[in-house]
Structure 1
Amino acid sequence: MKREALSGQEHSGRSLPGSGNDYARVDVLFIGGGIMSATLGVLLHELEPQWSMTMAERLDSVAAESSNGWNNAGTGHTALAELNYTPQTSSGAVDITKAVRINEDFQVSRQFWAWGVSRGILKQPRSFINTTPHMSFVWGDDNTRFLKNRYAALQTNALFQGMKYSESHAEIAQWVPLMMEGRDPRQKVAATWAPQGTDVNFGEVTRQYVRYLSSQSNFNLLLNSNVQKISRNDDGTWRVTLEDTQLRVQTRQIDARFVFVGAGGGSLPLLQESGIPEAKEYGGFPVGGSFLVADNSEITSRHFAKAYGKASVGSPPMSVPHLDTRILDGKKAILFGPFATFSTKFLKNGSYSDLLASTKMTNIVPMVRVGLSEFSLIKYLAGQLTLSDANRLQALQEYFPLARQEDWRLWQAGQRVQIIKRDKTRGGVLKLGTEIVCSKDGSIAGLLGASPGASTAAPIMLNLLERAFQSKFRTSAWQAKIRKIIPGYGTQLSSNPDKARESLKTTSEILQLSLPADGGATGPDMPEARAACSTTSATTNATTNASGRRVELAH
């Protein structure tokens, strides 16, 4: 079958799988089997269905690292509750610029998922996304004043309509009884309540995407395949050498016209291995996270929300505590955290040598500069690493006053690599978002960073497509397909109330989500909670890919 290459010319190569010095030629190679690679794969398959694609994952299943539901917070980040997205200015005003941008991005993700459901690519919306109210919760005069001002500022924007604000213990207790039982009635508290919030199982989204891609004749999924080498061929393509992680032998080489490095924390070393100058601007610092987990029905039945607090003065944004309802593997659990952990690994299943191996002459100065200037981060990590079980329980009791140690267990979640970027003025700066790294010719690209991450996978991958495939992205063919997939693409919903309401209504109907106009959620026993917990998630499913290999798409 003729395959359209990225250059528009036909090419051929040995079919996968190969062995020894055999190699295959493909149009697109995805390194990493997480939410980003899967999202990009679905987009590219829709835009160029004839392109051949291969996904190489080092573990024995996809979505087993940061995309795994147990390795992230599962928040559909919309800035409805996350206070670090709305900083207070020196004049005391609340800046909602970043909050609006993040909410806009999430609407793109919602439209993409809704399209996926309509096409049958994604099955049973409640297996991967569920209405879960988002709330902010603070105490003290200063924090209460800030939250009230934040609420007022957000209510001027169409994307944040339907939120409620309260300083009443009784009203807040109707929303989150668990958080108010046993609380001092004299304590000054305030909360905002956004019933349209969501909990997302990004691991399930990933598995369903890969299951769909694996049903296509020109897609291959290679598990237990670790990248050993990335080098440039004379014709401008990339040769990627893979090793079988179980046998520890070289199994195949793949020549790809475009390579996407979507390996989470492992992306930086791989981009460095490619030798592209754009990767020399970056260093990375790994930070892990752990959560307290309760799945006792007496506790889970008393809380149905993602309740975000405010980081302590001087603490980094990543320290924002939250008490979350999670729906994982069809079951309800409550998670509290995160508590920072430290390891030199860049991945939960990585190597202790990751940090040292990624430290180069080109990035050591920025890393040292950040280490010297970010004292608050160092102080925060040092404090977190010395926490005892009693300390963690005390932190939990600020949100759940009657919490008991015996009801909770500590869970180690995933690793995140915070970006350190070279800066002409300061030497190096800590970047807390996500950044696309793309070669000048667009033949290789990768993603670095963490928050808001998976929530905005669709808009991030669209941005990557625009950078890596500039000429094709501007064509009428691609533009028409993109607007069919994401009807609101290019529309600023925040300044167009009618279109914002239309988008929210349409995606809510397809994804089976609640809107504030529906009455929203008034407590932990809302129908969505019961329905979601009774839905069995398709967490384990076997599929046969194009090479005839049977693979398990499971945790």
Structure 2
Amino acid sequence: MSNGETKEVILIGAGIMSATLGSLLKELVPDWKIKVFEKLDKTGEESSNEWNNAGTGHAALCELNYTKENPDGSVDIKKAININEQFQVSKQFWAYLVDSQLIRRPQEFIMPLPHMSLVQGQKNVEFLKRRHEAMSSNPLFASMEYATDHETLKKWIPLIMENRATTDAIAATKIDSGTDVNFGALTRLLFQQLESQGVEMHYQHSVDDLKRTRDGGWEVKVRDHAGGNLENHKADFVFIGCGGGSLHLLQKSGIPEGKGIGGFPVSGIFMSCTNQEIVEQHHAKVYGKAPVGAPPMSVPHLDTRYINNKKSLLFGPFAGFSPKFLKNGSMFDLITSVKPSNVLTMLSAGVKEMGLTKYLIEQVLQSKEKRMEQLREFVPNAKSEDWELVIAGQRVQVIKDTEEGGKGTLQFGTEVVTAGDGSIAALLGASPGASTAVPVMLDIIERCFPENIKEWEPKIKEMVPSYGLSLSENPELLQKVNQTTDRALGLDQNKAIHN
């Protein structure tokens, strides 16, 4: 990397991750030159787009797959604490942007919405009770409520409880501090601000190749689809943040840290309610429990969404399969991602994940009526004519060799890969994804610019007051942070309006 004060930065992909990293860097080092290359003609059109993800502010308030049941029946909430802490970091940075008037209309991208977990069957009811006991004892989840009586549940989720047998064993937890986040709108707001600060935005430009330069930087070969010509751009630091497209570019970079990593694409399908009267009867994100043998990505949920200033209702996800790594990708994405360095890893995953293959085949072959049957487990009165299918985004699940899982282990989280010298970083993987954008990008900054962290730390703490601290271990700081972020993001005021 160059020794000068001003560095050249290239961000590949105009999604929420690049938008977040660009926003952080512009606050930390305003004089650095940043270029963004996006294959499509707009920002936030792939995984970040509001119709291509669940819009959940993932804070482990309702997602049962983040709390593991131990053999002795106790519930491990360590992962839930970690994910909640990460989302708290994202909220703090967004609040900073609003207070600094870098974002002026937070209601365009974030709304308060109760987050609920819902289970059926006596065994699951008992599990949820133990989960509630474990979580509500932690300051992060102290306001979580638990109920099994049908009258309370009718008040919480009237649409779900309508015409449900009173003898059904059913339980739910509810926490009002949940959020619905329009990551597409947030991405657009961030890039609008970055462009006004001098960041170069290049649409309809795709990166064909990346090569090291003698001075330790990078030469990036870019194809201009509008003009039809190839361009060479140089950078001291490159971030590969183009969703499913990141794996191919990581492989082209040739860095040893990227060797042996593979990816498996899974597409998402939701059902959207077309009857506004039904939409108005539900006000929450309600997550259930994945069927036995199904992967974590298949956790069913019934979600209130706010898209284009309109309240919507979605149910899913249903999985599909396409060899594309992006919704706007190529049918050859999967096969071309198999390299000599990852072929054994990929083959091992194929043998180990026969259950996932079977699950995907069953999902692909499902009729609409079969999907309606699953929806009716949530909404007993659901009618086919009130619901339509919506094709969501592509997610590439990371496959790599791990000590715990062995060769060819399928990963369900977000993976950051950085070069040893910090000159390039790539983001791979899926959920919790966008919700953790700020802590993940801060992690990249720490890894790639260790020589600058001491100088930048005061500014980082201004943007994220809890930086370097655990909110679950500092209840007073947690209370203060919640008050300031809720005020800045308008969550308290909106909560009073919508409850």
TM-score w.r.t. the length of structure 1 is 0.88
Question: Deviation at 1:281?
Answer: 2.6
Q: Which residue of 1 aligns with 2:216?
A: 236
The Cα offsets for residues 219-263 of structure 1, whole Å up to 9 and x where unpaired, read as: 20000001111111122111111112345x224211011000000
Amino acid at match of 1:527: I
Match of 2:308 in 1: 329
Would you say the 8 A contact 2:398–2:428 is kept in 1? Answer: yes
Deviates more, 1:401-410 or 1:424-433: 424-433
Work out whether 1:208 is the aligned partner of 2:185. no
Partner of 2:406: 426
**Take 2:170 and 2:139, find their aligned partners in 1: how far apart are those partners?**
27
Partner of 2:179: 198
Cα distance in structure 2, aligned partners of 1:462 and 1:409: 39
Q: Which residue matches 2:55? A: 74
Deviation at 1:10, TM superposition (A): 6.4
CA distance in 2, matches of 1:31, 1:264: 10
* Residue in 2 that maps onto 1:9: 4
Superposed CA deviations along residues 461-518 of structure 1, whole A, max 9, x for unmatched, are: 0001111111112x2x20111011111111111111111111111111111113xxx9
Note if contact 1:241-1:250 (Cα within 8 Å) is conserved in structure 2: no
Number of the residue aligned with 2:436: 456
Rounded to whole Å, the distance in 2 between the matches of 1:488 and 1:295 is: 42
For 1:467 and 1:288, locate their aligned partners in 2 and report how far apart those are by CA, in whole Å.
31
Q: Give the deviation of 1:401 after TM superposition.
A: 0.6
Report the Cα distance in structure 2 between the residues aligned to 1:301 and 1:115, rounded to whole angstroms. Answer: 33
Equivalent residue number for residue 22 of structure 1? none
Task: Report deviation, 1:69.
Answer: 0.5
Picking from 457, 478, 483, the partner of 1:479 is 457
Whole-Å separation in 1 of the counterparts to 2:292 and 2:285: 22
Q: Given the alignment, which residue of 356, 365, 370 partners 1:386?
A: 365
Alignment RMSD? 1.5
Residue correspondence of structure 1 range 90-489 to structure 2 within 5 A: 90-217=71-198, 219-247=199-227, 249-423=228-402, 426-473=406-453, 475=454, 477-489=455-467
For residue 102 of structure 2, what is the amino acid of its counterpart? I
Do 1:287 and 1:418's aligned partners in 2 also have CA atoms closer than 8 Å?
Answer: yes
Whether the aligned pair in 1 keeps the contact of 2:275 and 2:386 (CA below 8 Å) is yes
Q: Deviations over 1:276-311 (max 9, x none)?
A: 111113000000100000142201110000000000
Give the AA of the match of 2:152. Answer: E
- Other structure's SS at 2:70 match: coil
5 Å-filtered alignment, 1:34-53, equals 34-53=15-34
1:428 partner letter: G
Q: Secondary structure at the match of 1:272?
A: helix
Cα distance in structure 2, aligned partners of 1:156 and 1:104: 16
Deviations 1:200-236 (A, max 9, x none): 001111111110110123x200000011111111221
Whether 1:506 aligns to 2:476 is no
Moved more, 362-371 or 390-399: 362-371
The equivalent residue for 1:528 is: 498
SS in 2 for 1:281: coil
Question: How far apart are residue 378 of structure 1 and its match?
Answer: 1.7
Are the counterparts in 2 of residues 27 and 52 from structure 1 also a CA contact under 8 Å?
Answer: yes
For 2:205 and 2:414, locate their aligned partners in 1 and report how far apart those are by CA, in whole Å: 26
CA distance in 2, matches of 1:123, 1:192: 33
Q: Is the 8 A contact 2:2 2:215 kept in 1?
A: no
Q: Please give the alpha-carbon distance, in whole angstroms, between the structure 1 residues aligned to 2:171 and 2:488.
A: 34
CA contact (8 A) 1:76 1:200 kept: yes
Write the distance in 2 (CA, Å) between the matches of 1:256 and 1:287: 33
SS of the aligned residue for 2:42 comes to coil
Residues 86, 98 of structure 1: 8 Å contact kept: yes
**Displacement after TM superposition at 1:379 (Å):** 2.2
Q: Distance in 2 between matches of 1:395 and 1:438?
A: 41
Percent identity of paired positions between Structure 1 and Structure 2: 50
CA distance in 2, matches of 1:70, 1:254: 33
Note if contact 1:135-1:191 (Cα within 8 Å) is conserved in structure 2.
Answer: yes
Q: In the alignment, residue 497 of structure 2 is paired with which amino acid?
A: P
Where does residue 9 of structure 2 map in the other structure?
28
Aligned 8 A contact 1:366 1:423 in 2: no
Q: Which contiguous aligned blocks of 4+ residues in structure 1 show a shift greater than 6 angstroms?
A: none
Question: Does structure 1 retain, via aligned residues, the 8 Å contact 2:64–2:289?
Answer: yes
Task: Measure the CA separation in 2 of the matches of 1:263 and 1:417.
Answer: 11
What corresponds to 1:23 in structure 2? none
Residues 64-94 of structure 1 show CA distances to partners (whole Å, capped at 9, x for unaligned) of: 0000011000100111100000010111110
* CA shift for structure 1 position 376: 2.4
Conservation of the 8 A alpha-carbon contact between 2:147 and 2:171? yes
Give unpaired runs (5+ residues) of structure 1: 1-5, 12-25, 530-555
Check conservation: 1:130, 1:528, Cα contact below 8 A: no
SS of the equivalent of 1:471 reads: coil
- Cα distance in structure 1, aligned partners of 2:232 and 2:498: 48
Q: State the alpha-carbon separation in 2 of the partners of residues 339 and 198 from structure 1.
A: 22
8 Å Cα contact 1:114/1:507 also seen in 2: yes
In the other structure, the counterpart of 1:545 is none
Deviation at 1:358, TM superposition (A): 0.6
Query: Quick check: 1:295–1:332 contact (8 Å CA) kept in 2?
Result: no
Q: Which amino acid aligns with 2:333?
A: D
CA distance in 1, matches of 2:230, 2:196: 23
The number of aligned residues is 498
For 2:192 and 2:365, locate their aligned partners in 1 and report how far apart those are by CA, in whole Å. 43
Distance 1:125 1:10, change over 3 A: closer
Tell me, yes or no, if structure 1 residue 61 matches structure 2 residue 42. Answer: yes
User: SS at the partner of 1:421?
Assistant: strand
Please tell me whether the aligned partners of residues 345 and 401 of structure 2 are also in contact (alpha carbons under 8 angstroms).
yes
Partners of 1:66 and 1:244 lie apart in 2 by 22
The 1-side partners of 2:229 and 2:416 are apart by 29
Q: Is the partner of 1:61 in helix, strand or coil?
A: coil
